[in-house]
Amino acid sequence: MTYFMSLFLFGLVLGLIAVASNPSPYFAALGLVVVAGLGCGVLVGHGGPFLSLVLFLIYLGGMLVVFAYSAALAAEPYPESWGSRSVMGYVVAYSVGVLLVSGCFWGGWYEVSWVPADELKEFSMFRGDIGGVALMYSLGGGMLVISAWVLLLTLFVVLELTRGLSRGTLRAV
C-alpha cells in the first residue's frame, strides 16, 4: 500500500506541475482530470472511498463545464503542448522548485504519519469517511453555505472577466 500511495503522490505532484506549466486550456484540462483522479486515489488510500467517489464525480462534472467554456473562448489553431520549449522551461523550473521545497522538509516525513482513518478501527464505531460526511453536515453547515456562496461569486467573477468588449459571455464566432 505504501508503494501505491507513493505512486499516487508522485503522480499528483507531476500532474500539478503539468497543469501549472501549460498555457493551453486543452492540455491543462486533461492534466486537471488526471490530478483529480490521483488525488482521489490518495483519499481512497487514507480510508475515504465514499468521499473520493463523490469528489471525483463532482469534480469531473465541473471540469466538463470549465473545459467546454475555456475551449470555446480560447480556440487556438496550434496550441502549445507539453513538448514545446517554453512549456519545458516552466516544467524544469517548477520541478526544481518542488525539489528545493521538499528538500527543506525531507527529515520530518515518515511513512508512519500516513495513517489511514480505518487503521484505528478498534476505537471507532464508523468508517472514517462516513463519520466525516456526517460531521460536515452537522457542525459544518455554516461552512457549506459559505462555500456555496463563494462558488456562486466565483462564477459571476469569471463571467464578468471573460465578457470582453461588452458583447456578453456568448460570442458569435
pLDDT at position 96 is: 94
Counting Cβ atoms within 10 Å, is residue 153 exposed (0-12), middle (13-18) or buried (19+)?
exposed
Grid coordinates representing 34 are 488526471
pLDDT, tens digit only, all 173 positions of the chain: 778 888 898 999 998 888 888 777 777 777 788 888 898 888 888 777 777 888 888 877 777 777 777 667 666 667 777 778 888 888 899 999 999 988 887 776 665 555 555 565 566 565 656 666 666 677 777 877 888 898 888 888 777 766 655 555 555 54
Distance from the Cα of residue 65 to its chain's centroid: 15
What the block records as the C-alpha cell of 43 is 483519499
pLDDT of residue 173: 46
Q: What is the pLDDT of residue 95?
A: 92
Question: What pLDDT does residue 87 have?
Answer: 83
Q: Is the pTM of this model over 0.75?
A: no
Q: Which residues of 99-114 are buried (b: 16+ CB within 10 A; e: fewer)?
A: eeeeeeeeeeeeeeeb
Distance, in Å, from the CA atom of 67 to the CA atom of 30, rounded to the nearest integer, reads 9
